[in-house]
Amino acid sequence: AQAKQIDVPGTVSETLGLSPDGNMNAMRVGATVDGQWVSKGIQVVDTRTGQLVFDFAESSATEPAWSLDSTRLAFVANLASGEYSGTTIKGMYSDVFYVDFMSKTHAIVNVTETSRFSKIPAPLTELGGISVYNPIWSPDSKAIASIWHQDDGEAIWVTSVNGNDWARLVGGTG
């Protein structure tokens, strides 16, 4: 399939992200509606053929980041209620996800699963959520570092791509 035009007048792309090998380009796609940017998701296009390789139609998806070997793309998105962690309130948590372009299914993997770290059970309140941003891959593509924001401050965490291992590197208030 070719990269597709979204049926909104004024469709544009934002945040171009060329893979390190130059073979794929990840971009946030959306439109300017009444002077406001409205995100429609992330698309990845093969730069050699112009073919659409991946289309993640989730408006909260942002910050695409390529692994150094150009086989995986990490991005941030808000959790939908119950979609990834069982019981969450939509928008309460954002997480780092990735897609592996070496796999045939291009399954989306939630790496950070921040809801498991919340001090307040998600079903009880909209307070206490965790937002994650600025994902960056380790040089060996086995882990992703990101900034986690919670009410009590920010911290840098490193999470393995399988999500089983994580470590808080530094953090605090201010």
Q: Which of 83, 39, 31, 32 is nearest to 58 (CA)?
A: 39
pLDDT tops 80 at residue 79: no
pLDDT digits (tens, 9 = 90+) for 93-151: 688 889 999 998 888 888 887 766 655 444 444 445 677 888 999 999 999 999 887 76
Whether this prediction's pTM lies above 0.85 is answered by no
- The enclosing H or E element of 43 equals strand 36-46
- The enclosing H or E element of 64 equals strand 62-66
- Regarding beta strands 72-78 and 94-100, do their DSSP bridges make them parallel or antiparallel, or are they unpaired? antiparallel
- Biggest CA–CA distance in the chain, Å, is 49
- Identify whether the C-beta of residue 112 lies closer than 8 Å to the C-beta of residue 96: yes
pLDDT digits (tens, 9 = 90+) for 4-24: 433 333 445 555 689 999 999
Cβ burial of 126 (10 Å; 0-12, 13-18, 19+) is exposed
pLDDT digits (tens, 9 = 90+) for 80-109: 544 444 444 555 668 888 999 999 888 888
The string of DSSP codes covering 139-167 is: TTSSEEEEEEEETTEEEEEEEETTSS-EE
* Adjacency order of strands within the sheet including 36-46: 11-18, 24-33, 36-46, 52-56
pLDDT tops 50 at residue 2: no
- Provide the CA 107 distance to its chain's centre, in angstroms: 13
